[in-house]
Structure 1
Amino acid sequence: MTSTTFVPLRLAGRPLAVKVAAVFLGSLFLAASSWIEVPMFPVPMTMQTFAVTLVGALYGWRLGLATVLAWLGEAALGAPVLAGGAGGLAHFAGPTAGYLAAFPIAAALVGWLAERGWTAEGRLVRNVVAMLAGNAFILVFGTIVLAGMIGAEKAYTFGFAPFVLGGILKAVLATATIEAVRRAKISL
């Protein structure tokens, strides 16, 4: 890691118990973000992409990936951690499948960028770009998978276009959150 590295919670060198607790707390945060929802069909608008990118930036790529996978594992087991308090394997085969599959990769991508200084102090533009990259990956991958189910035109209309502005706003909000964490000097 370089001197410009910024992974706010600095979990990499922490004891295993702290990392396990962070994964647990992160999965609760992801679940809570799922319950903040604007019902839409076939894909609801939630705060999930905000939480996924923020977890990646705060935890780093490895622990961010592990946290999102743990949350998806909870969902697969039927825990009510997805949009609308849903859970179960059906969501991994339905219209949201591609978005769900993209979440761990996006968390890892943003975490990887954070570890390389993209979210470092004084790098607001890079920070926003890192968050946008995570959001864009989720949106594009999810839309491609959705297109295989309902066709490209409908996937664009219902699974991509309505989410672009929200993705931009969530990227800015995630950047502001990272700046607030930095200024508060929060660490586990």
Structure 2
Amino acid sequence: MEFVKSFKQTKLIKYLFIALLGSILLAVSSKIKIPFYPVPMTMQTFVVLFIGVAFGWKLGLATISLYLFEGILGLPVFSGTPEKGIGIVYFTGPTMGYLVGFIIAVYLAGKFKYDENLFKTFFKLSFATSFIYLFGMLWLGNLIGWDKPIFKLGAQPFLLAELLKILIATLAIKQIKKLRKIV
């Protein structure tokens, strides 16, 4: 009985460590801006998909929740922090919907089954990513008003870069899935 308890504690510590590493990876991905037209691109959405596929939906949700919690507490993990504010004030700003969308995206990316069909994989990853933009635009519309061009402001500038990130994840799906065996 003591062995089972020790094994469960070891497994919990392993999962906490992996979630912490994932949240750090996501924080780093939010800070690295890649020049892209018309707006710079970060690799956050790619890392959200990566975490979902590599960690599975349960550990993926824990990882994204930890990341959001770190940001709400005031750690400068979000893109634009600390320059544009920190904590709950930043979280409830214009990007909150996108950040909340990470939860749905990681869940779907972790829940889907992936096979050799790259077209289906691309579709599944695109579907998961679409919730980041859906929640983002819904929040943005409520925040700045529906009379503004929400799609043009909140999604259109990012779509080309997003398709590129989804394509990279699609082409690397076999390698990413291998990590799930380790986790």
Q: TM-score, normalised by structure 2?
A: 0.81
Amino acid of the structure 2 residue aligned with 1:123: N
Query: Residue by residue, what CA displacement relative to the aligned partner does 1:126-172 show, whole Å, maximum 9, x if unpaired?
Result: 22112111211101210111011223443212111111112211111
- Which of 167, 173, 179 pairs up with 1:172? 167
Quickly say closer, same or farther: Cα 1:104–1:125, change in 2 above 3 A: same
Q: Give the alignment of 1:37-186 within 5 angstroms.
A: 37=33, 45-86=41-82, 87-113=86-112, 117=113, 119-120=114-115, 122-152=116-146, 153-181=148-176
CA displacement, residues 87-135 of structure 1 (integer Å, 9 cap, x when unaligned): 311122111011111111110111111xxx2x23x13222211211121
Report SS of the residue matched to 1:15. helix
Structure of higher CA gyration radius? 2
Task: Provide the aligned C-alpha RMSD in A.
Answer: 2.5
Q: Specify the alignment match of 1:11 in structure 2.
A: none
Structure 2's unaligned 5+ residue stretches are: 1-9
Percent sequence identity over aligned pairs: 38
Q: Classify the secondary structure of the residue corresponding to 2:80.
A: helix
How far apart, in 2, do the equivalents of 1:184 and 1:110 lie? 14
Gaps of 5+ in 1: 1-13
Distance 1:44 1:76 in 2: 24
Equivalent position amino acid for 1:155 in 2: I
Higher helix share goes to which structure? 2
Q: Which residue of 2 aligns with 1:5?
A: none
* CA separation of 1:156 and 1:33: change in aligned 2, threshold 3 A: same
